[in-house]
Amino acid sequence: MINPVSPMPRELLVLGIETSCDETAAALVVRGIDGRGRILSNVVRSQLDQHRAYGGVVPEIAARAHLEILDKMIAQAFRQTSLTLDSIDALAATAGPGLIGGLLVGLVTAKAISLARGLPLIAINHLEAHALTPGLTDNMKPPYLLLLVSGGHTQVLAVEGVGKFHRLGTTLDDALGEAFDKTAKLLGLGYPGGPEVEKQAKTGDPKRFALPRPMLGRPDANFSFAGLKTAVRHAAQKLGTLAAVDVADLCASFQAAAGDSVADRLRVAMALYEERMGPTAKRVLVVSGGVAANAALRQSLQAMTGMQGYQLVIPPINLCTDNAAMIAWAGAERLALGHTDGLDFAARPRWPLDEVSAPLLGSGRLGAKA
């Protein structure tokens, strides 16, 4: 819904709510008249302990856990400031993509407050919130190239403006974080697997196992990690019992292969981005999502962007992983443009950022997964 009258520039204070996966989060963010953002409070409660025994996120457990603490998290976000519901201009809640139970908890809570207080509601695409985060953290506004690497998503997009995205590449199978998690699982490491694999890789030999570099040299900018994970499985099976050094070497070899693949795919994505944006394309690469925490990946991206003449922007890691400050900020950016949503807005478990490009994965009844 776009308000018919273009709003006068003014300071905007937005409450953000995030419940799309296994983090329950609330935050208060201000967007100044100059378009700069400031976080007033930002509280996150991870449900990791509730899911760990299952080796992954259990949707029903997640939804119930969100329901039990979301109101307390919102109260805490306000308590950390001197503000109350009377002071805010709007509510922004993640409406997708994500697990439907959790999405409903967050969105319905936001709708209820919106209705009770007569405040505008802004339904946020979680991926757009990741994509716009550098505006909040680094005052970096579109256009730029975005690599989103989390447990659920791996895609590279041209971010052309608020609500304007063009997908340049996406994974054809597993997300990168998912590949880290599955690799960790098959090597008997804990959950979530990314940090465990990284820890093991530190003492391992990245050259011991000649693992494939998926998609290397392909002219499109798509990703694939399922084959790499399977190659790790085969290498592990060949060894039989795994000594600690084997696990470390497998992790280091996996991480090196994944890093090489990402760097190669990004080189192609940069060419596609420059082709699309023209010769004056702003050469900035933003990286977001939980896998951005991986130091080896950051290092290889630093080297690669330097060579390609790009500036690399990675928001602080607590704002790369799921949080509500990014949801509030995306809400403030939309509100500044006059966008709000109706109380009839339905949660969308699948909600691609670029709805024009044909889905490459999960194009069933629910719509594109990636």
Q: Say whether residue 180 binds ligand KG4 (CB under 6 A).
A: yes
Q: How far is the CB of 20 from Zn ion (least distance, A)?
A: 7
- Contact between residue 58 and residue 47 where contact means Cβ atoms under 8 Å apart: no
Q: Give yes or no for residue 174 binding ligand KG4 (CB under 6 A).
A: no
The pairing of strands 12-18 and 23-31 is: antiparallel
* Shortest distance (Å) from residue 153 CB to Zn ion: 7
Out of 101, 106, 152, 214, the only residue in the binding site for ligand KG4 (CB under 6 A) is 152
CB under 5 to 8 A by kind: which of Zn ion, ligand KG4, none does 135 bind? Answer: none
Residue closer to Zn ion, measured from CB, 198 or 322: 322
85: tokens are 């519901």
55 binds, among ligand KG4, Zn ion, none (CB under 5 to 8 A by kind): none
Residue 177 sits in the site that holds ligand KG4 (CB under 6 A): yes
Quickly tell me which residue has 């509510």 as its tokens.
91
Least distance to ligand KG4, CB of residue 59, Å: 14
Minimum CB distance to Zn ion, residue 130 (Å): 6
**78's tokens:** 């306000």
Q: Count CB neighbours of 80 within 10 A.
A: 14
Q: Identify which of residues 120 and 290 has a Cβ nearer to ligand KG4 in the complex.
A: 290
Residue 262 beta carbon to ligand KG4: minimum distance, rounded to whole angstroms: 11
- Strands (DSSP E) contained in the chain are 12-18, 23-31, 37-46, 90-96, 121-125, 144-149, 154-161, 164-170, 284-288, 311-313
CB of 12 or CB of 291, closer to ligand KG4: 291
Q: Rule CB under 6 A: choose which of 102, 214, 290, 331 binds ligand KG4.
A: 290
Smallest separation (angstroms) from Zn ion to the CB of 202: 26
Q: Tell whether residue 56 is a contact of ligand KG4 (CB under 6 A).
A: no
**Residues, the chain, total?**
370
CB of 240 to ligand KG4, least distance (A): 27
Which is nearer to ligand KG4, 206 or 289 (by Cβ)? 289
Burial of 163 (0-12, 13-18, 19+ CB in 10 A): middle
* Spatial CB neighbours of 205, under 8 Å, sequence gap ≥ 6: 248, 249, 252, 253
* 322 interacts with ligand KG4 by CB under 6 A: yes
Is the CB of residue 253 less than 8 Å from the CB of residue 211?
yes
Count H helices, E strands: the chain? 11, 10
> Residues near 165 by Cβ (< 8 Å), separated by ≥ 6?
128, 131, 157, 158, 159, 353, 354
CA Rg value for the chain: 21
DSSP structure string for 189-256: --SSHHHHHHHHHTTS-TTSS----TTTT-SS--B--HHHHHHHHHHHHHH-SPPHHHHHHHHHHHHH
Among 96, 192, 204, 206, binds ligand KG4 (CB under 6 A): 192
Query: In the range 3-32, which residues lie near ligand KG4 by CB under 6 A?
Result: 21
Contact of 200 with 251, CB cutoff 8 Å: yes
Token pair 């570099």 in the structure block, residue: 213
Q: Does 198 bind ligand KG4 (CB under 6 A)?
A: yes
* Binds ligand KG4 by CB under 6 A, chosen from 121, 215, 293, 360: 293
Of residues 284-343, those binding Zn ion (CB under 5 A): 322
Q: Which stretch binds ligand KG4 (CB under 6 A): 137-145, 164-172, 177-185, 236-244?
A: 177-185
Binding residues for Zn ion, total number by CB under 5 A: 2
Which residues are at the interface with Zn ion (CB under 5 A)?
150, 322
Which residues are at the interface with ligand KG4 (CB under 6 A)?
21, 150-152, 177-178, 180-181, 192-195, 198, 289-291, 293-294, 321-322
